[in-house]
Amino acid sequence: MVVIYLLISVLLIIWLTAKLKVHPFIALLLVAIFYGIIAGMPLNNIITSVNKGFGNTLGGIGMIIILGVIIGAFLENSGGAYALAEKVLKFTGKKKIPFAMGIIGWFVSIPVFADSGFMLLAPLNKSLSKKAGITLSGTAIALGLGLIAAHTMVPPTPGPIAAAHYLNADLGLVILMGIPISLLALLMGLVFIKKYVSKTYIAPDPNVTEEDIKERLKTAPSAFKATIPIFVPIILIVIKSLLTSVYDYQSDNFETFPAIIKILFFLGEPFIALLIGCFLSLTLPKKLNKDMFSTSGWIGKALVGAASIILITGAGGIFGQVLRDSGIATTLGEALSGINLSIWLPFLLAAAIKTAQGSSTVALITAASILAPMMATLGFDTELQKAMVVVAIGAGSAVVVHANDSFFWVVTQLSGMDVKLGYRFLTLGSFVLGASAAILLFILYLILS
């Protein structure tokens, strides 16, 4: 019944937002409460889940969204994003932009969470699409799928690392397996984008004309200078990610670490890294003036735009938290774990948990926890098989991105997609990505077993 309740809830969200034009924040909040009631959750637990889901989600990415849109505002208004776009266009050509954004997203998401990566790269993505005169739908979904592919299947992203730990899998083998599988799956996702997504035109920035771009380019910073606010935060986050493999920054011995290590951990915290990116973005305009910082200036307009994204993302967190607290992941896990489906079992288990509650990391950890005591019974004995199971769980945790995942709202809101288009493009695209990875793993499993 919980699966039926989930399907009803998803259909309700689509109906309310697409048909009745209800604001997604209201639709998600009401449907989350509705699901909690029909799933039999105690009423006081529903209230707790709502508060926890909203607070935890915004505590995790709220500041990142705010700082990300400020960086984006300076990149766009200074002309820096367009100068950078011109350089990339010369290198890739118009036809290869979705491919380029997919690969960039894949690289960035290995050390950086997908939400943060999309926020950082959205201005470049939008300006590239504008300069090339192509639809934003294709480039945005390509970037999104690239971010998802590495986020779910390639360590040192936290989810795959945790799954490898639970299953006692060799991390080196997981990386060697995850890289080619995720890239080949991403390639299938890019074919889906070319054949389906790119047929629908979404204006990259309907409020900016070609004349506006030419005017901004007259005073624009160099392409190299424009990359600094984007890539310095990424580099800082990468350094922190690499340091965590040597130092446990959450341990009781943190104060005994060398000062430089403590400073790098601090600077590599995503919102601190993006705050540094904000300060660096102030160097992009030819001249700073106080109007840029006013409520009607660059920052003011950026924050007004961010408010809707923050609210909707928080409401997506509410829906996901209510689903988690209802026990749907446990119910689905117990139902599927009793069926021996070879390498398909870890994929389907993770996919069911991901679809049910929204978080890829939670799906990776939960599926690995369920499978850990059953690995020998299921016939996953060798180091290679264990590594394949980790990647299979990662592939499952990519399926499917929808309304209970904050990433769904970050991508759709920053790309001008309504909920219906989000389900057609991002949700279906994530299914193509995850299913392609699972099929590749199954063929590999047949060959090697």
Burial class (CB in 10 A: 0-12, 13-18, 19+), 338: exposed
Residue 347's pLDDT is 94
Average pLDDT over residues 201-224: 80
Integer Cα distance of 290 and 270 in angstroms: 27
Residue 211's pLDDT is 77
pLDDT over 90 percentage in the chain: 25
Half-sphere exposure of 6 (CA within 13 A, CB side): 23
Residue 251's pLDDT is 66
- CB under 8 Å to 172, separation ≥6 — which residues? none
**CA pseudo-torsion sign 305, 307, 312, 316:** positive
What pLDDT, in 10s, does the model give residues 383-395?
899 999 999 999 9
Residue 336's pLDDT is 67
Residue 192's pLDDT is 96
Secondary structure of residue 205 in the 3-state scheme: coil
What pLDDT, in 10s, does the model give residues 331-346?
776 766 666 678 898 9
Place 111 in a pLDDT band, splitting at 50, 70 and 90.
low
Tokens (6 digits) for 302: 């950026």
What pLDDT, in 10s, does the model give residues 238-265?
788 778 767 776 666 777 788 888 899 8
Place 156 in a pLDDT band, splitting at 50, 70 and 90.
low
pLDDT higher than 90, residue 188: yes
**Global pTM value:** 0.74
Place of tokens 């950890």: 365
pLDDT higher than 80, residue 42: yes
Place 19 in a pLDDT band, splitting at 50, 70 and 90.
confident
What pLDDT, in 10s, does the model give residues 61-71?
788 878 888 88
* Number of domains within the chain: 1
Secondary structure of residue 359 in the 3-state scheme: coil
Average pLDDT over residues 132-150: 92
Angle between the N-to-C axes of helices 344-357 and 360-371, in degrees from 0 to 180, rounded to the nearest 10: 140
CB 230 within 8 A of CB 277: yes
Integer Cα distance of 285 and 110 in angstroms: 31
Range of lowest pLDDT (21-35, 94-108, 368-382): 368-382
Range of lowest pLDDT (8-12, 249-253, 289-293): 249-253
* CA nearest to 85, candidates 43, 134, 127, 27: 127
Select the more confidently predicted residue: 187 or 93: 187
**Residues shown for the chain:** 449
Integer Cα distance of 158 and 360 in angstroms: 10
Domain that holds residue 122: 2-448
